[in-house]
Amino acid sequence: MSTVRLLVLGSILRRGVSHGYAVLRDMTTWRVDTWTNVKPGSIYHALDKLESQGMIEAAASGAGAKLGPSRKEYSVTKQGKAEFFRLLEAALVSPDILQFSAGVAFMEWLPRNEVIALLEQRRSVLDASLRLLKSLPVDERPSEPSRHPELVGIWIGYVESEAASTERILANVQAGRYDFKSERLEAE
């Protein structure tokens, strides 16, 4: 759920004012559907919930030239922006690839230094998890699934791959790559 919330808040933030269908379109054009499953229902549910929590609010309906059925436009409140950053920070530390992906999608909204710190933290979470997995006893002829070498191997492979991705991104961010919001010279 927190992944959907992050994506929805991020999508609205980028556009300033937005509505459910536009969020849905973003998810499709961003190919988020490759890695997460964001069906219409989830998005509209997230919007309702975020609104009821005061994270977003119905936008001053001035409304830009619409062409179709009527829509509900929202903008992110101060509270919602805080929630966005909370979720973003959590995502960048999460060992879960889905959550992490959503975090990476919006990492440029945070200051570069903070991203570096979060990625280092993720790396150490993954390292700990790797140590645990490698300490697990396995049997060639396992009496239970938990001792199956291939099952443990799958998860070691996954965690190692996540660790490598984290390392790679960390290096690129440290090398000054990417266009972080806080470093951008706004024209105007």
Partner DNA sequence: TGTCATCTAGTCAAATTTGAATAGAAAATG
Partner DNA sequence: CATTTTCTATTCAAATTTGACTAGATGACA
Q: Confirm or reject binding of residue 39 to DNA (CB under 7 A).
A: yes
Which of 127, 116, 122 has the alpha carbon at shortest distance from 172? 116
140 binds, among a second copy, DNA, none (CB under 5 to 8 A by kind): a second copy
Smaller CB separation from DNA, 33 or 160 = 33
- Residues within the interface to a second copy (CB under 8 A): 29-32, 34-35, 97, 100-101, 104-106, 136, 140-141, 144-146, 148, 150-151, 153-155, 157-158, 160-162, 164-165, 168-169, 172, 177-179
**Rounded to 10 degrees, what is the CA torsion of 8, 103, 3, 97?**
150
Q: Quote the least distance from Cβ 105 to a second copy, whole Å.
A: 4
Chain position carrying tokens 């005061």 = 54
Smaller CB separation from a second copy, 55 or 101 = 101
- Which residues, other chains included, contact 148 with Cβ-Cβ below 8 Å and sequence gap of 6+? 138, 139, 142
Smaller CB separation from a second copy, 69 or 145 = 145
Smaller CB separation from a second copy, 84 or 106 = 106
Q: Confirm or reject binding of residue 69 to DNA (CB under 7 A).
A: yes
- Phi then psi for residue 19, to 5 deg, are -145, 170
Q: Quote the least distance from Cβ 43 to DNA, whole Å.
A: 7
